[in-house]
Each structure stands twice: as C-alpha cells, then as structure tokens.
C-alpha cells in the first residue's frame, strides 16, 4: 500500500494508561495495521502498552515520555527509532507528549499530524503546534474552537475527527440478569472527572431506592477523597470502588446506567464505550459530550457539578425500563453509524495524505 507515498506511520503517545486517549491510539493503530500500513509506536509505559505487542505492532516504551524532566537524550532516541522505521508521517497522539512532539518535529524532516483531545489548551506550545504540525485533528468542535480562539492554530489546518472504537470489542448487552440495578462511572479518579458529584447523586438515589448498586471504577489521586466522602455521606457500604480493573469492557456489561459527571471533557471516550455497550447515559453537558449524547434519545445531559440533576435523571431511567432499553439501543446504533474505528481511520488517512502533499510542507 503506497498511496501518496504513505506506507509507514509513526505514533507518539504518552503513558498507555486506562484513558480514552490511549484506547483510541491503540484502536487506530490496530485498524491501520489491518489495512497493511506499517505502524511503529513510541509511548510511555502503562497497562495498555502490552496490547501493541498482542496486535504485533512494533512499539518501544520510554520512561518520562510525558514529563518535563525527561532525559535530553530521549529526543535523539525516538528520532532514531523514527528514522529506522522509515516513517512517512509522524502522528502525535496525546497532548501530554506535546512538548516532546514539538522537539521531535524540529529535528526530523517528517510531516507531523497531531491529534488534540483536550480543550482549553493555550500558551507557547499550542502556538508552536500551529506552526510545526502540517495537519491538526481535533476530536470535537469544542476542542477545535479552543485551538483556534485560545491557541491561535490556523483554522485551515484543523479537521474535526471524533475518536472511534472497534465495535467488535464491545458486545451488545445481554438480557438483564436478576438483581438490583447497577449505576456506574468509569475513568481516572481525578478532580476534573467529577466523581464527587456522582457520590452526591448516589446519596440522593439511595435515599429513594435502597436496592441499587453504586460502582466507581478507576484509579487516581482522588481515591482517598472519594472514600472519605462516601463515609461522610453514610453510603460507603453501598458503594463499590474498584481500582484494580485491567480491562473496563467486561465491567460495562454489568452496568445498567452509565454516568459521566465530568467538569471538562474534550470528547468523552468512556461515554462512547458505554454507548457501544448499549447503555443509557447520564452525562455532564460539557465539551465533546454534546456530540455523543442526544438529550432524551441516547441518554440525558445535565449541568456540570449538579448531583441532584444526575440523581433525578438516573431515577427517571430506573422507573422506565422500556425507555432505558430504547436509549441503549439508539446509543449503540449511533456509535455504529458515526464512531466505528473503520470510518474514523478513513478520515485520518486522508489527513496523512494531505500532510504528504508538497504544498503542505511547513
């Protein structure tokens, strides 16, 4: 496969943690490899890094890849890896590795495409991104607007391409088993993810319906605070906080209603996973979540930081099983139509081809 001279693609990613950015990077790499492209990856360590090997994709893990304290020799090492694999295009996959990506773009003569997943980016790094990257992919309109308005990235360089996933890895929901309904949130335990408001909602839900299971899945700096909050609210015995889950997909099959209480989201990959699993969603109306959740059809949108609104919508779904089933069905259909990794990869390859055109050279 040598369209537009495109055969070898080099990915640069931060730590391969249980985050949407890492999962999308892995899905895209696997889809491009299936098409016959040679994919090489430089990434930070993490539980998802080994999946590159499982997919027979060459990858090298580097410590401190997303740290400002990285070794001054790291740029040389990755530049050598890039040259050894004869990369045609260099695809920066995560904002956390932006500084390193810009440094690499200064020493290798390979067109750089950058995918930006987070909103509200500004400063000299984004200004330089707009000059160093040949093409910039924003995962949502919210991210694109911030890149233009706050980062000064030229609008003509940006294409909005949402994250995608391999639907074969997300099974349609089985018939519901007997037992109490499960309300869950999955993702990094960080302040910006808003799990504290989910616990406030859980308290209100349990005050109304005692026979409900509350699940928080993830790990991060907020774990101790969330455990203290659950004890303070008197619901610690009803809340399961699972921090050692290696693969979130099986957990999704056990959840009946998925909640995303985030204060900020560039896209909302966990929502995409829940929708692919046929789950109704209650999510904060922030960032790229608007492009995923159709209010009243695939789930409900609520104001960020509003635990009472989350509780009200969850209770509404619990009291209407038919509505819950229809929301989950429409959610899965929407993902199949718009967010299949096959379609996302098609659009991404078009950006690679544009980056290789002579007129695109920075």
Give the pLDDT confidence of 112-163 residue by residue, as tens digits: 999 998 765 666 677 788 889 999 999 999 899 989 988 889 999 999 999 9
Nearest Cα residue to 89 out of 3, 2, 34, 7? 7
Backbone angles phi, psi at 188, to 5 degrees: -55, 140
Q: What is the pLDDT of residue 359?
A: 62
**What strand order describes the sheet that includes 135-138?**
58-61, 38-44, 8-15, 89-92, 112-116, 135-138, 158-160
- d(CA 318, CA 287) in angstroms, rounded, equals 26
Given this model, what pLDDT does residue 361 score? Answer: 52
pLDDT at residue 135 in the model: 96
HSE toward the beta carbon, residue 166, CA cutoff 13 A? 14
User: HEC states along the chain?
Assistant: CCHHHCCEEEEEEEECCCCHHHHHHHHHHHHHHHCCCEEEEEEECCCCCHHHHHCCCEEEECCCCCCCCCCCCHHHHHHHHHHHCCCCEEEECCHHHHHHHHHHHHHCCCCEEEEECCCCCCCHHHHHHHHHCCEEEECCHHHHHHHHHCCCCCHHHEEECCCCECHHHCCCCCCCCCCCCEEEEECCCCHHHCHHHHHHHHHHHHHHCCCCEEEEECCCCCHHHHHHHHHHHCCHHHEEEECCCCCCHHHHHHCCEEEECCCCCCCCHHHHHHHHCCCCEEEECCHHHHHCCCECCCEEEECCCCHHHHHHHHHHHHCCHHHHHHHHHHHHHHHHHHCEHHHHHHHHHHHHHHHHCHHHCC
Q: How far is CA 246 from the centre of its chain?
A: 16
Task: Give the model's pLDDT for residue 202.
Answer: 97
This prediction has a pTM of: 0.88
Q: CA gyration radius for the chain?
A: 21
CB of 90 within 8 A of CB of 82?
yes
Q: At what angle do helices 20-34 and 341-356 cross, to 10 degrees?
A: 80
Domain with CATH 3.40.50.2000 in the chain: 3-165+340-360, 168-338
pLDDT at residue number 94: 87
Tens digit of pLDDT per residue, the chain (362 long)? 445 679 999 999 999 988 889 999 999 999 999 999 999 999 999 999 999 999 999 999 998 887 776 677 899 999 999 999 999 999 999 888 888 999 999 899 899 999 998 765 666 677 788 889 999 999 999 899 989 988 889 999 999 999 999 998 887 766 667 789 999 999 999 999 999 999 999 999 999 998 999 999 999 999 999 999 999 999 999 999 998 887 888 888 889 999 999 999 988 999 999 999 999 999 999 988 988 999 999 999 999 999 999 999 999 999 999 999 999 999 999 999 999 999 999 999 999 999 998 765 55
Q: Which two tokens stand for residue 362?
A: 């920075």
Q: Please tell me the predicted confidence (pLDDT) of residue 4.
A: 60
Give the homologous superfamily in CATH for domain 168-338: Glycogen Phosphorylase B; (3.40.50.2000)
Please check whether residue 21 is in contact with residue 116, taking contact to mean a CB–CB distance below 8 angstroms. no
Tokens of 350: 């078009």
Distance CA 321, CA 6 (A): 50
- The single residue listed with the structure tokens 């829940």 is 274
Class of domain 3-165+340-360: alpha beta
pLDDT for residue 82: 95
For 249-272, the pLDDT digits (tens) are 888 888 999 999 999 998 899 999
């Amino acid at each position: 496969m040598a369209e537009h001279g495109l055969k070898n693609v080099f990915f640069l990613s931060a730590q391969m943690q249980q985050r949407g950015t890492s999962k999308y990077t892995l899905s895209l790499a696997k889809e491009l490899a299936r098409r016959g492209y040679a994919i090489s990856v430089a990434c930070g360590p993490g539980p998802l890094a080994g999946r590159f090997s499982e997919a027979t994709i060459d990858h090298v893990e580097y410590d401190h890849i997303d740290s400002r304290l990285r070794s001054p020799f790291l740029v040389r090492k990755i530049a050598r890896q890039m040259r050894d694999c004869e990369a045609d295009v260099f695809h920066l996959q995560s904002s956390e590795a932006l500084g390193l990506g810009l440094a690499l773009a200064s020493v290798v003569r390979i067109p750089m495409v950058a995918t930006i997943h987070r909103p509200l980016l500004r400063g000299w790094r984004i200004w330089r991104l707009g000059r160093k990257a040949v093409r910039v992919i924003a995962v949502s309109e919210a991210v694109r607007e911030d890149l233009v308005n706050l980062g000064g990235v030229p609008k003509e360089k940006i294409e909005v391409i949402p994250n995608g996933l391999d639907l074969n890895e997300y099974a349609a929901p089985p018939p519901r088993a007997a037992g109490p309904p499960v309300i869950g949130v999955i993702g990094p335990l960080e302040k910006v993810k808003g799990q504290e408001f989910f616990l406030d909602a859980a308290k209100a839900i349990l005050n109304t319906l005692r026979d409900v299971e509350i699940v928080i899945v993830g790990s991060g700096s907020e774990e101790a605070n969330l455990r203290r909050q659950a004890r303070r609210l008197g619901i610690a015995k009803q809340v399961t906080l699972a921090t050692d889950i290696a693969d979130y997909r099986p957990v999704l099959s056990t959840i009946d209603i998925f909640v995303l209480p985030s204060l900020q989201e560039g896209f909302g990959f966990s929502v995409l996973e829940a929708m692919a699993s046929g789950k109704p969603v209650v999510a904060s109306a922030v960032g790229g979540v608007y492009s995923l959740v159709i209010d009243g059809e695939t789930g409900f949108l609520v104001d960020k930081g509003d635990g009472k609104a989350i509780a009200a919508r969850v209770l509404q779904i619990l009291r209407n099983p038919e509505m819950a089933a229809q929301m989950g069905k429409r959610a899965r259909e929407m993902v199949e139509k718009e967010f299949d990794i096959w379609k996302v990869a098609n659009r991404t390859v078009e950006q690679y081809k544009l980056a290789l055109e002579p007129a695109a050279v920075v």
